[in-house]
Structure 1
Amino acid sequence: MIKELDFSNIKKEKQRCFGGAWYHKVMSVPHDFLGITGVVTLPLPFIKRFDDGFNNNKMVDFNHKNLDVSSIYMGGHATDESDVGLAFSRAILNNQITEGACVYRPFWRYITDQFSDEGGYDLANQRYYAASVLSNHNGMKNVYAQYHPSFSEHYYLPGDTLRMTLISPKPNFLQLTIEVIEVSTLPYSVNLRKKYLLKTPADFVSPLFQSMGHGTKMPKTYKRVNAIDQARNEGKTAIPTKTSVYNALWHECHLVYSEDGKQYLTPLNEASSVSMSCPNEQGFITTAIDSKTGRQNITIEPKRI
């Protein structure tokens, strides 16, 4: 049930850009939220930055390692930060893993000093994901996890329409769910699925992962992000690029909260959020956020600068 909250008395703070990527972020004001949910049609990425030579005539050349990565994700911040969603990734085609990215696959990235869940794939024991520690600062682990690439039903492609939800099923944990709303009719996606006999896309549920403070009464912020992440460049100056990501459409996006024991949705709109386009607003084309639904269309095109 949708029931809009009044955030007029909350002072909004301007966010600081984080280096190393081109991204548009819409982040909520602090509140005792339970999570975030939104329906998004995945964009068309034209990747133009690689480790070596590539076919410039292709939308993506998955025979070469890409250095720009299209990602569409959500996140929450309570005690610690978490980012979860979809990253343009490698795939298994013709029984071989590609060199470069060609499909969107689920990931979850979280910071914890407790249950890190680190470890590799163990398909025999039904552990279908791997979790790697990217960094460890005095016991605070930055963990990145991704589902195994052999499950092509969890390959999501440009033009697919999905509902992504990030919510806390129990205190200090988060979980990502993806529901398939509509399968893409774009030529790239139709042809890739047909040529490589990929399975029909299916719903996805991540394991629970540690994220302290979520599911408690403390104030939290939630966000949605559209990005071109850049390999080996996190925290540095974003690299100029001709890579573009066209027409990611958030049909709706809502924050989840509880009142009198019932769950409600309030739109993630300009009244409840702060937006930013980094590192330069001229590299983005964005529509105004619809006040009732949170609807917004986003194109990332750094070559416009």
Structure 2
Amino acid sequence: MNKAISALKEKHSAPFMRRTSHSSGQASNYSNAPAQKEYYWYPGEEVTISIQIIRSGVLKFIVDGNGKHYESEYECAGYKQGTRGEFKRVNAIDQVSNEGKPTQATNTKVEGAQWKGSFLFRMYDGKIVKTPLHTGRYTDMRCPDAMYFDINSTEAEQKIGAESVEINGAGY
């Protein structure tokens, strides 16, 4: 039993951000914290993730929680202050270097993931306002197929972009 508990504690998550290529010639890539223990978050730890447009073409990526903090500036040519941007909030089973390829078969599971709230900050009447990311402001994309996801939320949770997410690579 101790070996199983020890193995479970070793599983970790490293939040990252990814951008697609842009008409400016900027190539697609992703960014995450260095592969060091001070930037790993483990099951049960709560984190806050923030993306801010700090100047045209530059985002700030911030991950904070459980006494750990990571932030970096990230060049992203398609984002300019005062214009609309498109962002994705994703829960996934990581399949490194699989971009643009078919999904690989796996029995991996993600259990107990929760979004306690998701918000956008936007300019309205000259002021920055916090706006809930509710179902009217996003596209639900359970890729490659909805059969791999079990997503639940109450009506109140839906209004603030909160939900529970389970993913099973073998399907439900």
Structure-1-length-normalised TM-score: 0.48
Match of 2:140 among 269, 272, 275: 275
Partner of 2:82: 217
Amino acid at match of 2:86: T
Partner of 1:37: none
Shift of 1:178: 1.8
Shift of 1:304: 2.9
Equivalent runs, 1:166-177 vs 2, <5 Å: 166-177=51-62
Partner of 1:302: 169
Instruction: Verify the 8 A CA contact 1:164 1:176 in the aligned structure 2.
Output: yes
Summarize deviations over 1:52-92 as a string: whole Å, max 9, x none: xxxxx958969xxxxxxxxxxxxxxxxxxxxxxxxxxxxxx
Structure-2-length-normalised TM-score: 0.81
Summarize deviations over 1:199-247 as a string: whole Å, max 9, x none: xx322211x1211232333332222000113234321221222110111
Partner of 1:205: 71
Indicate yes or no: 2:8 matched with 1:105: no
Amino acid at match of 1:146: N
The alpha-carbon distance between structure 1 residues 221 and 144, as it changes in their structure 2 partners (threshold 3 A), is: closer
Indicate yes or no: 2:11 matched with 1:146: no
3-state DSSP class of the match of 1:282? helix
Instruction: Verify the 8 A CA contact 2:11 2:43 in the aligned structure 1.
Output: no
Partner of 1:252: 117
The answer to which structure has the higher helix fraction is 2
- In the alignment, the residues of structure 1 paired with residue 99 and residue 159 of structure 2 have an alpha-carbon distance, to the nearest angstrom, of 35
Shift of 1:294: 1.1
Shift of 1:259: 1.7
3-state DSSP class of the match of 2:79? coil
The alpha-carbon distance between structure 1 residues 277 and 143, as it changes in their structure 2 partners (threshold 3 A), is: closer
- In the alignment, the residues of structure 1 paired with residue 5 and residue 171 of structure 2 have an alpha-carbon distance, to the nearest angstrom, of 18
Shift of 1:106: 4.4
Match of 1:291 among 158, 161, 164: 158
List gaps (5 residues or longer) in structure 1.
1-56, 63-100, 114-137, 184-200
Instruction: Verify the 8 A CA contact 2:82 2:123 in the aligned structure 1.
Output: no
Amino acid at match of 1:104: S
Aligned CA RMSD, in angstroms, stands at 2.9
Indicate yes or no: 2:65 matched with 1:156: no
Instruction: Verify the 8 A CA contact 1:112 1:211 in the aligned structure 2.
Output: no
The alpha-carbon distance between structure 1 residues 276 and 110, as it changes in their structure 2 partners (threshold 3 A), is: closer
The alpha-carbon distance between structure 1 residues 164 and 257, as it changes in their structure 2 partners (threshold 3 A), is: same
How many positions carry a matched residue from both structures? 167
